[in-house]
A and B are shown apart, each in its own frame.
Chain A
Amino acid sequence: AQTVTQSQPEMSVQEAETVTLSCTYDTSESDYYLFWYKQPPSRQMILVIRQEAYKQQNATENRFSVNFQKAAKSFSLKISDSQLGDAAMYFCASLSGTASKLTFGTGTRLQVTL
């Protein structure tokens, strides 16, 4: 079984600043993948970034990067140069090879202030 924990229900960041959203997970699988999804007020789920567990290098997508600590089972998301459009719910999710289905965390609501 997989579990994903997001301990920050809400976070706030000023425009142009950097913010880090936390995520921890637990899985007995050796082959798994981790994702961050963004859900703006429109409720559309948007893939932000993806990390393969077998890769040591942290994934990066423009202003978004992750800090993947495999031993600690930690997968945090860093948003640099925050923009107003980054305001949304952010969900951490894991996918294992055997289950082949996503397990989501409870989400972190990110506010971006001027």
Chain B
Amino acid sequence: GAVVSQHPSWVICKSGTSVKIECRSLDFQATTMFWYRQFPKQSLMLMATSNEGSKATYEQGVEKDKFLINHASLTLSTLTVTSAHPEDSSFYICSARNLQGAYNSPLHFGNGTRLTVT
């Protein structure tokens, strides 16, 4: 149980285009999903907290107009990298917390998306 599906697992796009990454909780409902970015051999940096039915909360230094987050249902959050540039190339990981769980319950992570912008 507690599976989080992230799609696509990898994507290559041209500079200036937009890319959408989906994060789905397959067997549970999640009011809160988190989006992380991970550079090679580095830690996970929280980009934003996605709340179902409301605006996402972005971490300091993360451009909200650049990284659009939508959490339209209890099982789906999307991250759209707009007007992508090579410096946006990275590994993006989503995670979700079960609606039934307390705030301190473990997060369930997706398998990540490797984005390469050429």
- In chain A, what residue has the closest Cβ to B44? A104
Contact pick for A44, options B42, B44, B107, B111, CB 8 Å: B111
Contacting residues of chain A (50-66) with chain B, CB-CB under 8 angstroms: 50, 52
Which secondary structure dominates where chain B touches chain A? Answer: strand
Q: Are B111 and A43 in contact (CB under 8 A)?
A: yes
Our pick among A47, A95, A105 for the contact of B104 (Cβ within 8 Å) is A95
**CB proximity of B74 to chain A, nearest CB, Å:** 17
- Contact residue range for chain A? 20 to 34
A101: chain B residues within 8 A (beta carbon)? 34, 46, 49
Tell me how many residue pairs across A and B have CB atoms closer than 8 Å: 43
Where the two chains meet, the residues of B that have a C-beta atom closer than 8 Å to any C-beta of A are 32, 34, 42-46, 49, 91, 93, 95, 103-104, 106-107, 109, 111-112
- What is the chain A residue whose CB lies nearest that of B34? A101
Q: Is the CB of A100 within 8 A of B103?
A: yes
Check A16 for interface membership: any CB of B closer than 8 A: no
Residues of the A chain whose Cβ atoms lie less than 8 Å from the Cβ of B104 = 33, 52, 95, 97
